Amino acid sequence: MPCSPSKRSRFEKPGRRFDSNDFPSMWRLLIFFSALGIALALIARWWFGMRVLAAEGKRTCHCDLDKWLPAPDDEAVIHRSEGTADEFGRQLRLKALAEWREREPKAAGARESANKFGLAVPPLSGIVAIMGMVIAKIPVVGAISVLMAATALAAILGLLSIAPELQAIMKNARELRERKHFPRRDDEDAVIQCAIAHAWKEALPPILKMFQK
């Protein structure tokens, strides 16, 4: 049965802006699942990262400078044996990552690729969404759903790829305990917990970190 001119024009008229009722269910469904994924990622980052740093990060710890080596990016001439668990934990994570790159370059490279994906994809998806609104005439809700979906995907990939990094940190943590880098056991525990917390803190895309500092 041939389509009437009015029905045919609705789909074939060039340059027409999408009606807000064209794909309402698809946009809403995409926004719902994207928001759910982003919310779960933020909750995980807060629970395993921000909460631990807030609780243990301010603890003053004392290390043995004859055994404790500075992080790869540390260019200080003089190092102090006293510092916060937050700072020692950050250094422990960086040292663990540096040794992991030397020991397992492919696995470490895969983790870095996931981080780069989270860094690049959300902004690029935002550009694509804007172009879609201008050129393809998609509705605003569609552009928002594209940006949210890309951000949620980047966040989920960041969390799914965190396990090998945590294993690398725990390997260094075992060496730290064996060599007694910190005279007090409580200091050791706080530093290791903060190192793991820093991994969770840095797991999400930068666009989400802005909403949870």
| Distance separating the N- and C-terminal Cα atoms of the chain | 60
What is the number of alpha carbons within 13 Å of residue 203 lying toward its C-beta?
Answer: 33
Assigned domain for 15 exists: no
pLDDT in tens, 58-86: 999 999 988 887 777 665 545 678 999 99
Q: CB under 8 Å to 186, separation ≥6 — which residues?
A: 59
CA neighbor of 87 nearest in space, from 194, 209, 179: 194
- Identify the domain containing residue 171 by its residue range: 41-52+92-213
Assigned domain for 72 exists: no
Amino acid identity, residue 41? A
- For 58-181, strand residue ranges (E) read 60-62, 82-84
pLDDT in tens, 128-143: 888 888 887 888 888 8
**How many other CB atoms are found less than 10 A from the CB of residue 125?**
20
The chain-wide mean pLDDT, for the chain, equals: 85
CA neighbor of 137 nearest in space, from 14, 1, 5: 14
CA neighbor of 81 nearest in space, from 176, 183, 202: 183
Assigned domain for 13 exists: no
Six-digit token pair at 80?
A: 């102090």
pTM: 0.81
* 109-120 mean pLDDT: 88
Residue 177 has pLDDT above 60, yes or no: yes
Can you give the pLDDT at residue 12? 44
Assigned domain for 135 exists: yes
Assigned domain for 61 exists: no
DSSP bridge pairs for 84: 60
Separation between Cα atoms, residue 198 and residue 204, nearest integer Å: 11
Provide the number of structural domains found in the chain: 1
Assigned domain for 25 exists: no
Assigned domain for 128 exists: yes
**How many other CB atoms are found less than 10 A from the CB of residue 33?**
14
